[in-house]
Amino acid sequence: MATFYNQATLSYNGTVASSNITSGEILEVLSVEKNAVSDSYSQGSENVYMVSIVNSGSACYNGLTVTDDLGAYSIGETADTVVPLTYREGTLSYYVNGVQQAAPAVTSFSPLTVTGINVPAGGNAMLVYAAEANSFAPMGADAEIVNTVTVSGTGFEPVTASETVSFNDEIDLAISKSLSPAAVEENGEVTYTFIIQNFGTVPAEAADNVIFSDTFSPALSGLTAEFNGTAWVSGTNYAYDPDTGVFTSLDGQVTVPAAQFSQSETTGEWNAQAGVSTLVIRGRLV
C-alpha cells in the first residue's frame, strides 16, 4: 500500500492561494507469499517450496511470470554468483483457487522461471515445487539460504517474497567397522576398529548419552577396548558378556567433536570435515 498527496493552487494578481492537501492510498491488489515445508536443510537434502499469489482486486491477472533466484549469492572479491538450490525437474504443480491446473511452462531452471500464471479476480494461484541443497549451500553454525521469488507482469510493479531456511544445527553421526586380519586362525586374535564420524555442527558430548553396541560372533575372550587412544575399563566405560558376545558402551562414554566447514574461495563449493572418534576392540576368537 502506498500513500499519495495532492494540492492545488490559484495564482492571481501576484497572489497565490493554496488548497487543502488531499491524500489517498494505492492498494496493492496482487501479493505473494513464499513458504518452505521444512525450516532447515543439510547438503543434499530436498525441500518443498510453496508460492502463493493472491489477487484482491476486481480484475484478472493473466500471463504472469514467477521467478525464483534459488538463493543465489555472491562470493569472493570478484563477486561471482553461486546458486545453492537446484530445482528438481518435474516437481512443479500449479493450482488456481485450490484446483490443480496443467503444469505451466518452465523456461529456465536457474533462476527458476515459470510463465503463463493466471490469477482470477478475488482469487489465488499457488505453485509448489522441490529444490535440493547442492554443494554451494552454506554449511556450519548460523548458515542459511535466503531465496526470493518475484512475480511480474503487465499493469503492476513486480512483487516479491523471500523465505529463509537454516542449516541443520544438530549432531549427525555415522559409523564404519573394519576387521584385522580379515582371515584368522581358530582362537586367533582379531582387532575391530570403529570410526565414528560427526557431520553435524554440534559435538556429541557426554550428556548426549551416545551408546555404542555390537554383538561379536564368534565371541571374544580377553577383550580389551580403547577409545581415542585411551584404555577403557570394564564396568566403568563398557559392559561385555563373553557368553553372548554383546558389547555395550555405558552412558556418556562416546563423544565425537563437531565437523569443520569451509568454502572454496575459487569455486564457492562448501565442504565438511567430519569430527572423528575411534574405538578399537581386541580379543581372541572363542
Task: Please report, to the nearest 10 degrees, the dihedral formed by the alpha carbons of residues 201, 204, 208, 214 taken in order.
Answer: 130
Whether residues 155 and 179 fall in one domain: no
Whether residues 70 and 143 fall in one domain: yes
The count of domains in the chain is 2
User: Pick from 167, 202, 227: which residue ends a domain?
Assistant: 167
Cα separation, 158 vs 123, whole angstroms: 18
Q: What is the pLDDT of residue 14?
A: 86
Q: What is the pLDDT of residue 27?
A: 55
CATH number (domain holding residue 96): 2.60.40.740
CATH number (domain holding residue 243): 2.60.40
pLDDT per position in the chain (286 positions), as tens? 557 688 888 998 888 889 888 876 655 589 999 999 999 999 999 999 999 999 999 999 999 999 999 999 998 776 789 999 999 999 999 999 999 999 999 999 999 999 999 999 999 999 999 999 999 999 999 999 999 999 999 989 999 999 999 999 999 999 999 999 988 888 899 999 999 999 999 999 999 999 999 999 999 999 999 999 999 999 999 999 999 999 999 999 999 999 999 999 889 999 999 999 999 999 999 8
Whether residues 133 and 264 fall in one domain: no
Whether residues 22 and 110 fall in one domain: yes
> Cell numbers 582362537 label which residue?
187
Asked whether the beta carbons of 270 and 139 are under 8 A apart, the reply is yes
Whether residues 75 and 153 fall in one domain: yes
Whether residues 145 and 197 fall in one domain: no
- Supply φ then ψ for residue 207, to 5 degrees: -65, -15
CA-based nearest residue to 270, from 44, 39, 40, 38: 44
Please give the model's pTM, rounded to 2 decimal places.
0.78
C-alpha cell at 42: 543439510
Domain span at residue 24 reads: 2-167
Whether residues 133 and 177 fall in one domain: no
C-alpha cell at 53: 499469489
Whether residues 11 and 151 fall in one domain: yes
Whether residues 181 and 101 fall in one domain: no
Cα separation, 220 vs 242, whole angstroms: 6
Whether residues 189 and 131 fall in one domain: no
Q: How many CA atoms lie within 13 A of 132 on its CB side?
A: 10
Whether residues 11 and 132 fall in one domain: yes
Q: What is the pLDDT of residue 157?
A: 93
Whether residues 178 and 156 fall in one domain: no
Q: What is the pLDDT of residue 28?
A: 57
Amino acid at 85: L
Q: What is the pLDDT of residue 76?
A: 77
Asked whether the beta carbons of 227 and 271 are under 8 A apart, the reply is no
User: Pick from 152, 167, 182: which residue ends a domain?
Assistant: 167
Q: 125-163 b/e with 16+ CB inside 10 Å = b?
A: bbbbbbbbbbbbbbbbeebebebbbbbebeeeeebebeb
User: Pick from 134, 167, 200: which residue ends a domain?
Assistant: 167
